[in-house]
């Protein structure tokens, strides 16, 4: 199959629409459903991310994509009991690839509503059981066990989009894009970061443990497939906050930092012990948790909490939030472009950032380095810009 006709393009009025292979057959099969134009953009971007994470770190990897950027990405490391409760998976025996997806979706469960899921490894029963419960548009993976495929085929009334990708497929070296009748051609961004790219430590603190190197590489690869400008925060093999597509880098840092804070606040005992009313669905629970922990939740928004919770306890005070967030430490911050001002570092410090990776190259690099030194951070300058459009 070299061409696949689609229902429509980005919007229903954009017809006709199709995808084509530039050389040979299309590198995937649609096993179920009828994926659309945006579905395939998410599928092919997310697949590249998890494939390269597996290549770089030799661990199962998963991503949760929305509108061609990751809401989260993660490696297949075990979850803490608190993380399992926050993601509503206490009752599932998670395999490494299932854990990777739970952690990827758990970064920002509100943004992952209706996501496209990507897995580096064959999807097993545990992963399918996790997905069965969530609102998701589709999945791409190199394969599926028989049990997993049958479970996933039952989603969305039998219309869940399931794509199997050829893991051996390599795209052409040149990429093309057509905008307003003008064709753009560029070399594919084939960089896969490794420990060798982390040798230029520019701060006074040069202590970079192996776990931090892993998280720096995870941050860089996630940014490689995130719409620019972008930054992301990473903790223990899990992206916990993504700021994508902002024109100002500080807005990326603030956005991702707020998501990071919310991720950690959801593990506060008072939040974990919230009791939901019977028949309250998972999306409504995610919305309620977000409202409960957000400092800026409006009064009209908070009015929905009594409809969702058996009892609405006192929300966290500013002091309680601040005290709890002090427990978040050794976080990694990655940026796809250089930091032009120290305000990014000042904001990052509020969310427990210890390790920073960025390309460098700003006329104010010295000021940014000095700000990292003030917080005893470790910063690596790679010389590798990772813009993605």
Looking at the structure, do residues 257 and 279 belong to the same domain, yes or no?
no
177 domain residue, yes or no: no
Peptide bond into 2 cis (omega under 30): no
| 61-66 and 136-141 strand pairing | unpaired
159 domain residue, yes or no: yes
Mean pLDDT for the chain? 95
- What is the pLDDT at residue 23? 83
Cα 340 to Cα 348: distance, rounded to the nearest angstrom: 14
103 domain residue, yes or no: yes
Angle between helix 125-133 and helix 96-106 axes, rounded to 10 deg: 20
Sign of CA dihedral 335, 338, 344, 346: positive
Looking at the structure, do residues 103 and 248 belong to the same domain, yes or no?
no
Looking at the structure, do residues 110 and 38 belong to the same domain, yes or no?
yes
Three-state SS for 17? strand
| 331-335 and 230-235 strand pairing | antiparallel
Looking at the structure, do residues 33 and 89 belong to the same domain, yes or no?
yes
Residues of the chain with pLDDT > 70: what percent?
Answer: 100
Q: What is the CATH number of the domain that holds 149?
A: 3.40.140.20
Supply the range of the domain harboring residue 310. Answer: 269-315
386 domain residue, yes or no: no
Task: Please identify which residue in the block is written with the tokens 């030799």.
Answer: 58
| 378-381 and 353-358 strand pairing | parallel
Average pLDDT over residues 217-221: 98
**Terminal CA-CA length for the chain:** 28
Looking at the structure, do residues 232 and 208 belong to the same domain, yes or no?
yes
Cα 11 to Cα 159: distance, rounded to the nearest angstrom: 20
Cα 106 to Cα 19: distance, rounded to the nearest angstrom: 31
pLDDT classification of 81: cutoffs 50, 70, 90: very high
Token pair of 165, please? Answer: 């990708």
Q: Using the 8-state DSSP alphabet, how is residue 115 labeled?
A: E
Looking at the structure, do residues 160 and 211 belong to the same domain, yes or no?
no
Pair 308, 288: CB distance under 8 Å = yes
Give the tens place of pLDDT for each residue, 222-254: 999 999 999 999 999 999 999 999 999 999 999
- What is the pLDDT at residue 301? 86
Cα 239 to Cα 49: distance, rounded to the nearest angstrom: 13
Looking at the structure, do residues 347 and 377 belong to the same domain, yes or no?
yes
Average pLDDT over residues 261-270: 95
Residue finishing a domain among 148, 165, 182: 165
Residues 6 or more apart in contact with residue 233 via CB below 8 angstroms: 219, 239, 240, 241, 256, 257, 259, 260, 331, 332, 333, 348, 351, 353
181 domain residue, yes or no: no
Q: Using the 8-state DSSP alphabet, how is residue 64 labeled?
A: E
Give the tens place of pLDDT for each residue, 159-216: 999 999 999 999 999 999 999 999 999 999 999 999 999 999 999 999 999 999 999 9
73 domain residue, yes or no: yes
Alpha helices in the chain, H assignment, sequence order? 37-57, 81-86, 96-106, 125-133, 146-152, 210-224, 249-265, 269-272, 282-293, 299-302, 305-308, 318-325, 343-349, 365-374
What residues are annotated to the active site? 66-67, 229, 389
Peptide bond into 76 cis (omega under 30): no
Cα 191 to Cα 176: distance, rounded to the nearest angstrom: 18
- pLDDT above 80: residue 26: yes
96 domain residue, yes or no: yes
Looking at the structure, do residues 225 and 363 belong to the same domain, yes or no?
yes
Looking at the structure, do residues 101 and 248 belong to the same domain, yes or no?
no
Looking at the structure, do residues 28 and 160 belong to the same domain, yes or no?
yes
Looking at the structure, do residues 224 and 370 belong to the same domain, yes or no?
yes
Task: Please identify which residue in the block is written with the tokens 């057509």.
Answer: 178
Provide Rg for the chain, Cα atoms: 21
Looking at the structure, do residues 158 and 91 belong to the same domain, yes or no?
yes
186 domain residue, yes or no: no
If one counts the domains in the chain, the total is: 3
């Amino acid at each position: 199959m070299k061409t696949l006709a689609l229902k429509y393009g980005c919007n229903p009025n954009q017809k006709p629409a199709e995808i084509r292979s530039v050389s040979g057959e299309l590198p995937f099969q649609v096993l179920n459903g009828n994926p659309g134009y945006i579905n395939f953009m998410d599928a092919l971007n997310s697949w590249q991310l998890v494939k390269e994470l597996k290549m770089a770190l030799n661990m199962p990897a998963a991503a949760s994509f929305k509108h061609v950027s990751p809401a989260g990405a993660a490696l297949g490391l075990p979850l803490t009991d608190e993380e399992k409760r926050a993601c509503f998976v206490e009752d599932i025996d998670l395999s490494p690839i299932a854990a990777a997806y739970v952690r990827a979706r758990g970064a920002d469960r509100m943004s992952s509503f209706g996501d496209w899921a990507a897995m580096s490894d064959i999807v097993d029963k545990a992963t399918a059981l996790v997905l069965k419960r969530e609102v998701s548009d589709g999945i791409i993976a190199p394969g599926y066990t028989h049990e997993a495929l049958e479970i996933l085929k039952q989603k969305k009334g039998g219309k869940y989009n399931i794509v199997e990708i050829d893991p051996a497929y390599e795209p052409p070296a040149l990429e093309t894009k057509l905008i307003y009748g003008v064709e753009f051609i560029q070399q594919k961004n084939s960089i896969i970061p490794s420990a060798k790219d982390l040798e230029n430590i520019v701060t006074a603190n040069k202590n970079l443990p192996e776990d931090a190197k892993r998280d720096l590489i995870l941050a860089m690869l996630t940014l490689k497939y995130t719409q620019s400008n972008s930054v992301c925060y990473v903790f223990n093999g899990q992206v916990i906050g993504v700021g994508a597509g902002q024109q100002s880098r500080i807005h990326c840092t603030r956005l991702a930092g707020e998501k990071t804070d919310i991720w950690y606040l959801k593990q506060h005992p008072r939040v974990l012990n919230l009791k939901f009313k019977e028949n309250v669905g998972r999306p409504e629970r995610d919305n309620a948790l977000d409202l409960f922990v957000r400092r800026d939740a409006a009064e009209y928004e908070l009015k929905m909490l009594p409809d969702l919770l058996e009892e609405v306890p006192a929300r966290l005070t500013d002091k309680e939030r601040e005290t709890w967030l002090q427990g978040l430490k050794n976080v990694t911050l990655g940026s796809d472009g250089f930091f032009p001002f120290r305000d990014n570092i000042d904001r990052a410090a509020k969310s427990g950032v210890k390790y920073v990776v960025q390309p460098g190259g700003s006329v104010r690099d010295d000021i940014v380095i000095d700000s990292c030194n003030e917080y005893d951070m470790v910063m690596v300058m790679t010389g590798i810009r990772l813009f993605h459009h």
